[in-house]
């Protein structure tokens, strides 16, 4: 049965979708069967980030409304045969209930190891729809004060869902600014947010939305942490210092 993990953030532009797609790609490289489910109906970009925007015949709403079976809405990535995209479309979100989405994902879960759910940023209706379909959570933030403040609000909201676990990914970290003390250390951010630090993504690994980076050691470490708990905080710190 798949582990259903929602990837969310309090603020847009922190790289949430990029983290979601690269984590999925690295899990697929390790041999896991992965679905990337796009539940950001307003700014749906998962298929674009994976380069699959012209391959999808159906989306999650088609599966919900019975125009196709859930498996027919999946699009396999040509480079990673165990990575699939379940895209969405720009519709009025109030017409899609959390229960309907959960039924689709639950029907697919026995066939996969991971379902990564790309949530809309913020804490509006779309956020609650995405989180209600998940059992675990990843919060993505950057070292900027506004992003950290919004991430703290999201962390507070996630507590009410009693997920099995919630971890933190600090994205777009500039090593030179950390060394000069101009931004907080990722460990300090995790301490302030009272969340376990799962990954630090340096700004050098920033990716365009139409690119999945196979060579990113940071995302490989994140995938190992999520899948097997292999990587310790010390390993992330040593990698970041290098």
What are the extents of the domains in the chain?
3-241
Residue-level pLDDT at 211:
55
Residue-level pLDDT at 214:
60
Q: Are 134 and 6 in contact (CB under 8 A)?
A: yes
Provide the sign of the torsion angle of the four alpha carbons 208, 169, 172, 119, taken in this order.
Answer: positive
Q: Name, in order, each residue with C-beta under 8 angstroms of 214's C-beta and a sequence gap of 6 or more.
A: 25, 29
Is pLDDT at 232 greater than 70 in this prediction? Answer: no
Residue-level pLDDT at 66:
93
Instruction: Assign 166 a pLDDT band (cuts: 50, 70, 90).
Output: very high
Residue-level pLDDT at 197:
94
Residue-level pLDDT at 161:
94
Is pLDDT at 34 greater than 60 in this prediction? Answer: yes
CATH topology of domain 3-241: Rossmann fold (3.40.50)
Return the closest-CA partner of residue 70 out of 38, 30, 101. 101
Please tell me what DSSP assigns to residue 194: T
Residue-level pLDDT at 77:
95
């Amino acid at each position: 049965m798949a582990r259903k993990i929602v990837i969310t953030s309090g603020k847009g532009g922190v790289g949430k979708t990029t983290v979601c797609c690269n984590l999925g790609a690295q899990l697929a490289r390790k041999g896991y069967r992965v679905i990337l489910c796009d539940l950001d109906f307003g700014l749906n970009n998962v298929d674009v980030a994976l380069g699959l925007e012209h391959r999808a015949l159906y989306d999650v709403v088609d599966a919900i409304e019975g125009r196709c079976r859930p498996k027919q809405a999946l699009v396999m990535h040509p480079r990673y045969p165990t990575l699939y995209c379940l895209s969405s479309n720009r519709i009025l979100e109030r017409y899609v209930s959390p229960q309907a989405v959960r039924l689709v994902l639950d029907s697919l879960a026995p066939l996969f190891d991971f379902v990564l759910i790309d949530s809309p940023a913020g804490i509006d209706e779309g956020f609650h729809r995405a989180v209600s379909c998940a059992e675990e959570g990843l919060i993505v933030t950057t070292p900027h004060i506004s992003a950290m403040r919004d991430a703290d609000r999201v962390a507070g909201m996630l507590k009410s869902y009693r997920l099995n676990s919630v971890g933190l990914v600090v994205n777009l970290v500039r090593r030179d600014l950390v060394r000069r003390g101009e931004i907080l250390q990722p460990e300090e951010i995790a301490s302030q947010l009272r969340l376990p630090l799962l990954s630090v993504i340096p700004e050098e690994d920033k990716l365009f939305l139409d690119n999945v980076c196979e060579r990113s050691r940071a995302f490989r470490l994140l995938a190992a942490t999520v899948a097997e708990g292999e990587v310790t905080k010390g390993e992330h710190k040593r990698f970041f210092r290098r």
